[in-house]
């Protein structure tokens, strides 16, 4: 169990309060093992929690797992007693069984240990081939705690329904549900954790699907024990990566047994007319597609040349189904790559304004997450100087050039396209990115305006708010 910080404050730089941490200390004091799950942007908080527990006399082993220990193990093992790389289900059970039986455990696969003789680094066990062997999430609520107003309170079905989480808020009667029906992605973009996972598991099949009946069972069990589901967010990296027959089998069963509108993420490489028909016949009501860049040199740098070649036809296909969606489709863009020229950025932004309004499309500032090929390149080129500021606590919506921050805010306010396009003409944009104009953008009123979306609320009672909070908050 990991307590949450208040998402309404600057969440990437936020720290847990003393009250919350002392409550945590009290809660875990009789445990045999303390586990902590973290992404890269939770690294500072994980250090804070671990150091707090230690400095308050906690001698229980603390093990970290998740994306961050997987992509940056050498950094993480400096702070935890042990870390888990890659998939954790089998590793954690193995470790606990050995500890329980009093057996030596420093050779547990996937785990690294800090020992009196130094760090023991064990190899990885193979990926789980049959995801149906993984038990469904534990929604019993029993023994689960939640941070509410700096206090840890026991989770109940009622609290679940009202959960004021970082991303979601139930309406008190039903809840939005995040579902994973697969693991992995066929692509290997150079800024994405999947590229690191592919390197960690050479020759293994990263992309795996759960059986459709298990997924339906999970949804039904949740509805039975916790709350009715208002909307299903399929958070798979690439929902349409499954072959057409598999997609059809899942969607048909889902429509018959569950029938709740759902959202899914797709890629230009994995959609076609037949798959779109299947999706929209089975209750899919919204899709997101990663466009990332309109520029072919950037696409090559991102290892997305194949996606780029299919981009135009994929966009036409998604646009064809716009009428079938509850909200217009969402396209994701990335700019602010340190290797990108102004003209290349402008090309991408011009594509972003080419779609019908309203524009819900997030335009991210490229994050150089540890371990990825693009991160390694930037590290070698001396671009990463301060990991704390540039990675762990950085907001992926904060563009390094204030003009783009300002432009994106105008874009999200659906300012008429001709104004946005005018600002993107090379001469105008060059001037607006120059020193003189930058000084103006940095003045208080402009800064406040540009940062508006950065400070937006962070709880999501419905689909529109969910998209707003997932992509912009
Ligand atoms: C669902 C999801 C979300 C959801 C929910 C996140 C959540 N906290 O549950 C939402 C939409 C909210 C989200 C938000 C973000 N996400 Co996200 N998200 C994912 C996604 C698609 C699946 C995560 C998941 O549940 N996986 C399934 C579980 C089973 O896998 P797992 O978490 O890795 O856990 C396994 C092991 O790591 C290990 N393990 C994990 N914890 C522990 C703990 C212990 C003690 C042990 C022993 C083992 C262990 O065992 C688990 C089972 O095998 C991943 C991509 C992916 N395919 O994993 C990205 C991913 C985790 N997200 C990412 C990012 C960047 C973000 C955001 C920063 C960006 C954004 N645009 O929103 C935000 C940050 C949110 C925050 N809290 O600050 C990156 C993280 C990169 C990094 N280096 O940290 C990922 C990897 C995407 C990517 N392709 O790069 N995300
Ligand atoms: S398509 Fe998306 S999930 Fe797949 S590797 Fe690229 S960025 Fe990652």
Which residue has the least CA distance to atom 8 on ligand 2? Answer: 192
- Work out which ligand 1 atom sits closest to the CA atom of 193: 90
Answer yes or no: is the C-beta of 290 below 6 A from any ligand 2 atom. Answer: yes
pLDDT of residue 111: 98
- What is the domain partition of the chain in residue ranges? 18-86+88-126, 132-472
- Work out which ligand 2 atom sits closest to the CA atom of 292: 7
Residue 182's φ and ψ, nearest 5 degrees, are -155, 170
- Give the chain's mean pLDDT: 91
Report whether pLDDT(463) > 80: no
Report whether pLDDT(454) > 60: no
- Work out which ligand 1 atom sits closest to the CA atom of 87: 53
Alpha helices in 353-416 (DSSP H): 373-380, 387, 402-412
| Local structure of 472: helix, strand or coil | helix
- pLDDT tens, position by position, 427-453: 999 999 999 898 888 888 888 888 765
* Second CATH level (architecture) for the domain 18-86+88-126: 3-Layer(aba) Sandwich (3.40)
Going by pLDDT thresholds of 50, 70 and 90, the confidence category of residue 12 is confident
- pLDDT tens, position by position, 149-183: 889 999 988 888 877 556 666 677 788 899 999 99
DSSP strand pairing (182-183 vs 208-209): antiparallel
Q: Among all ligands shown, which has an atom nearest to the Cα of 288?
A: 2
For residue 130, report the distance from its CA to the centre of ligand 1, in Å.
20
Which residue has the least CA distance to atom 85 on ligand 1? Answer: 193
- Work out which ligand 1 atom sits closest to the CA atom of 166: 77
Cross-strand pairs, 109:
none
- pLDDT tens, position by position, 256-298: 999 999 999 999 999 999 999 999 999 999 999 999 999 999 9
The residues lining ligand 1, judged by C-beta closer than 6 Å to any ligand atom, are: 35-37, 39-41, 63, 65-68, 70-71, 84, 87-89, 92, 166-167, 178, 180, 192-194, 235, 237, 369, 396, 470
Q: Among all ligands shown, which has an atom nearest to the Cα of 362?
A: 1
Answer whether CATH 3.30.70 is correct for domain 132-472: no
For residue 269, report the distance from its CA to the centre of ligand 1, in Å.
23
Q: Among all ligands shown, which has an atom nearest to the Cα of 304?
A: 2
Answer yes or no: is the C-beta of 288 below 6 A from any ligand 2 atom. Answer: no
CA angle, 36 as apex, 31 and 41 as ends, to 5°? 160
- The alpha-carbon radius of gyration of the chain (Å, integer) is 23
For residue 288, report the distance from its CA to the centre of ligand 2, in Å.
12
Asked if residue 81 lies in contact with residue 62, where contact means CB atoms within 8 angstroms, the answer is: yes
- pLDDT tens, position by position, 353-385: 999 999 989 999 999 999 999 999 999 999 999
pLDDT of residue 168: 64
Greatest alpha-carbon span in the chain = 71
Report whether pLDDT(5) > 60: no
| Local structure of 317: helix, strand or coil | helix
Mutate to test the pocket of ligand 2, among 180, 182, 184, 189 (most ligand atoms within 8 A of CB): 189
Q: Among all ligands shown, which has an atom nearest to the Cα of 190?
A: 2
For residue 301, report the distance from its CA to the centre of ligand 2, in Å.
14
DSSP strand pairing (229-234 vs 262-266): parallel
Report whether pLDDT(44) > 60: yes
pLDDT of residue 48: 97
What's the token pair of residue 428? 């105008």
- pLDDT tens, position by position, 230-265: 999 999 999 999 999 999 999 999 999 999 999 999
Asked if residue 81 lies in contact with residue 53, where contact means CB atoms within 8 angstroms, the answer is: no
Mutate to test the pocket of ligand 2, among 194, 235, 303, 372 (most ligand atoms within 8 A of CB): 194
Answer yes or no: is the C-beta of 189 below 6 A from any ligand 2 atom. Answer: yes
pLDDT of residue 81: 98
Q: Render the burial of 80-89: b for 16+ CB within 10 Å, e for the rest.
A: bbbbbbbbbe
pLDDT of residue 445: 84
Please report which helix (H) or strand (E) contains residue 343, including its range. Answer: helix 342-352
For residue 5, report the distance from its CA to the centre of ligand 1, in Å.
17
What's the token pair of residue 149? 């107003």
Alpha carbons 182 and 186: distance in angstroms, whole number? 12
Q: Quick one: 74 exposed, middle or buried, by C-beta within 10 A (0-12, 13-18, 19+)?
A: exposed
- pLDDT tens, position by position, 180-201: 999 999 999 999 999 999 999 9
pLDDT of residue 467: 62
Alpha carbons 353 and 443: distance in angstroms, whole number? 27
What's the token pair of residue 387? 């990991």
């Amino acid at each position: 169990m990991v307590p949450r910080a208040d998402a309404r404050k600057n969440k990437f730089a936020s720290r847990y309060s003393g009250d919350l941490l002392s409550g945590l200390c009290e809660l875990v004091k009789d445990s045999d093992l303390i586990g902590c799950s973290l992404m890269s942007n939770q690294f500072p908080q994980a250090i804070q929690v671990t150091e707090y527990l230690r400095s308050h006399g906690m001698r229980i082993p603390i093990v970290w797992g998740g994306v961050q220990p997987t992509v940056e193990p050498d950094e993480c093992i400096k702070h935890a007693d042990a870390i888990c790389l890659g998939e954790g289900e089998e590793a954690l059970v193995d470790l606990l069984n050995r500890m329980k039986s009093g057996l030596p455990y420093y050779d547990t696969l996937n785990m690294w240990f800090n020992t009196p003789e130094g760090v023991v680094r064990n190899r990885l066990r193979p990926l789980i081939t049959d995801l149906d062997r993984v038990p469904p999430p534990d929604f019993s609520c029993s023994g689960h705690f939640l941070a509410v107003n700096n206090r840890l309170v026991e989770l109940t079905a009622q609290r679940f329904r009202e959960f004021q989480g970082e991303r979601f808020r139930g309406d008190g009667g039903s809840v939005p549900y995040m579902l994973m029906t697969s693991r992995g992605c066929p692509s290997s973009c150079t800024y994405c954790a999947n590229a690191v996972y592919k390197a960690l598991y050479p020759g293994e099949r990263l992309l795996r699907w759960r059986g459709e009946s298990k997924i339906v069972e999970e949804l039904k069990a949740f509805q039975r024990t916790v709350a009715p589901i208002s909307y299903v967010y399929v958070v798979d990296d690439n929902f349409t990566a499954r072959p057409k027959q598999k997609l059809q089998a899942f969607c048909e069963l889902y429509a018959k047994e569950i029938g709740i509108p759902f959202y899914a993420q797709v890629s230009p490489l994995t959609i076609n007319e037949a798959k779109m028909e299947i999706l929209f016949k089975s209750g899919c009501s919204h899709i997101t597609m990663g466009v990332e860049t309109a520029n072919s040199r950037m696409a090559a740098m991102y290892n997305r040349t194949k996606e780029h070649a299919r981009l135009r036809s994929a966009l036409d296909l998604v646009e064809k189904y716009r009428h079938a969606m509850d909200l217009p489709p969402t396209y994701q863009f990335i700019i602010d790559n340190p290797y990108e020229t102004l003209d290349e950025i402008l090309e991408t932004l011009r594509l972003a304004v080419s779609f019908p309004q309203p524009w819900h499309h997030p335009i991210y500032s490229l994050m150089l997450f540890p371990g990825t090929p693009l991160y390694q390149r930037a590290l070698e080129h001396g671009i990463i100087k301060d990991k704390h500021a540039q990675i762990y606590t950085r907001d992926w919506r904060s563009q390094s050039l204030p003009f783009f921050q300002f432009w994106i805010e105008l874009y999200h306010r659906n300012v008429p396209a001709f104004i946005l396009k005018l600002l993107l003409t090379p001469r105008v944009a060059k001037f607006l990115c120059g020193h003189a104009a930058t000084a103006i953008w940095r003045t208080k009123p402009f800064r406040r305006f540009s940062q508006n979306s950065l400070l937006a609320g962070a709880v999501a009672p419905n689909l529109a708010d969910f998209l707003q909070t997932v992509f912009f908050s």
